[in-house]
A and B are shown apart, each in its own frame.
Chain A
Amino acid sequence: MSDISIKIIDRDGVQHEVDAPTDMNMNLMEVIRSYELAPEGTIGICGGMAMCASCQCYVKSDHELPEKSDDEDAMLAEAFNVEDNSRLGCQIHITVDLNGLEVELAPEE
């Protein structure tokens, strides 16, 4: 077992501290869905292909995240409510380095 702890602020501004497994090939969007922190159908609409921006979140902590792929970058270029710290949750793979990560879900479009 190698869970990490992540702080997630949902779309209503409520903060949740959740355990995320590093050994289940999960990404941040899936972690958020597994805890149902956003209603089904409002997050992860494309399933995690970086083809919608429904899992956009703002990264609040200064963790070093993997670089954006061209797909993620292009999707964020067309998304709304984008900030400098915007990322697509589905493109952030849960690893031990992300212990203590703090993110806030972007508003639903």
Chain B
Amino acid sequence: MIKTDILIIGAGPTGLFTVFEAGLLKLKCHLIDALPQAGGQCSEIYPKKPIYDIPGFPEVLAGELVANLMEQIKPFQPGFTLGERAETIEKLEDNTFVVTTNKGTKHNAPIVAIAGGLGSFEPRKPLLENLTNFEDKGVAYIIKDPEVYRDKKVVIAGGGDSALDWSIFLADVASEVTLVHRRNEFRGALDSVEKVQHLKNEEKIKLITPAEIVALKGTNALEAVVIKKAGDNEEEIILEVDSFIPLFGLSPKLGPIADWGLDIEKNAIKVDNTLDYQTNIPGIYAIGDVNTYPGKLKLILCGFHEATLMCQSAYQRIFPDKRYVMKYTTVGGVTGFDGSKKEAPKAVVKKIE
């Protein structure tokens, strides 16, 4: 069981900054995120896009902002459970919570801060009638262990980086790799596009474009896919395969959090914005894009503010008898849990002769 003071669900900018504000109050944090890396949307959707409304940063790339936040919170040694989705929550008799992920990892904390953004990122599934019947029986949306595909016939669908990169990788593993995309053009790193071109020329990857997989065949497990080729020479191809990997990117879904008994409105969690962004369940807060209240704006800068107030409230909840007075970092500096100490250099007081 992982124990911490504040358990943060979602490692996007709001969740990361919470670690800093909690750290100033000497509260420890642990973050859970369904994505394999920290940063949330900033890392997953638009790492190369510039953001212009972070106070004090005239322009900062989303990916850089995440890197800066990671640097800023480093002294407070946050723990991470990445690549796992927070699935269930349970309140114990001592008023603390246990949050369990889809992989069974358990976390215990007196405070839960949901900084879940738009929800956890789930693979986008193509609209094929019997798709779910073949899940884990030939159809997979995420490649966990490439060895599963050794000497197998694999068809990949999609036109982005992950479709290109996995086609390249599996070309050396699988016995046959077919890449199907609706267009002749691919959107990915130039390097990957060129590599696929090269592997196609070497006949290590079979490319079928513009085309779409329109049906799946098989009795118990997947046996073949039906590929509809578009354009001038329209035709239907039946391709025998062991595996079909649709890679159409990820889309966020509120997911299991929606079943935690929290007040939900407009796909967001209702919180008390007059005070501390607490939900209807005392001890559970919701901050950043995942919450809603009158006048809510889904902005990173608003998430930072919400995280800051939420930490003050969390402190009072954990230490109801302590009288706390907020201290500026210019006054108190930053003392990390790692023993590091940052503080303003003392002014020189010296007589001028």
Contacts and interface: CB of A to CB of B under 8 A. Distances in A.
Chain B at the A interface: mostly helix, strand, loop or mixed? loop
Interface string B282-293: 000000000010
A45 B183 contact: no
Interface in B327-343: none
B266 interface: yes
A45 B118 contact: yes
Contact of B268 (A41, A52, A77): A41
16 contacts: A40-B266, A41-B118, A41-B254, A41-B268, A46-B46, A47-B298, A74-B183, A74-B185, A77-B159, A77-B182, A77-B183, A77-B187, A78-B124, A78-B158, A78-B159, A78-B248
Interface in B147-170: 158-160
Contacts of B185: 73-74, 77
Given A46-B45, A74-B185, A39 B266 contact: yes
Nearest to B210: A77
Given A74-B159, A74-B185, A109 B251 contact: yes
Q: Give the interface size bracket for A toward B.
A: 20 to 34
Contacts, number: 56
A101 interface: no
Interface residues of B, number: 26
Nearest to A49: B46
Nearest to A75: B187
A99 to B, nearest CB: 30
B46 to A, nearest CB: 6
A15 interface: no
A80 interface: yes
Nearest to B160: A78
B191 to A, nearest CB: 17
B126 A42 contact: no
B288 to A, nearest CB: 14
A92 interface: no
Contact of B127 (A39, A73, A77, A81): A81
A51 interface: yes
Contacts of B160: 74, 78
B28 interface: no
Contacts of A73: 183, 185
A73 B124 CA distance: 18
A80 B46 CA distance: 21
Interface of B: 41, 45-46, 49, 118, 124, 126-127, 158-160, 181-183, 185, 187, 248-249, 251-252, 254, 266-268, 292, 298
Given A40-B268, A74-B187, A80-B126, A51 B158 contact: no
B268 A78 contact: no
Interface string A14-56: 0000000000000000000000000111100111010110100
A70 to B, nearest CB: 8
A82 to B, nearest CB: 8
A47 B252 CA distance: 13
A18 to B, nearest CB: 19
Contact of B251 (A40, A52, A70, A82): A52
B181 A77 contact: yes
Given A39-B266, A74-B187, A77-B183, A45 B46 contact: no
Contacts of A74: 159-160, 183, 185, 187
A41 B252 CA distance: 9
Nearest to A74: B187
A49 B49 contact: yes
A70 B127 CA distance: 24
B156 to A, nearest CB: 13
A69 to B, nearest CB: 12
Contacts of B298: 47
Nearest to A46: B45
The 9 closest A-B pairs by CB, nearest first: A41-B267, A40-B266, A74-B187, A77-B183, A77-B182, A80-B127, A78-B248, A77-B159, A51-B45
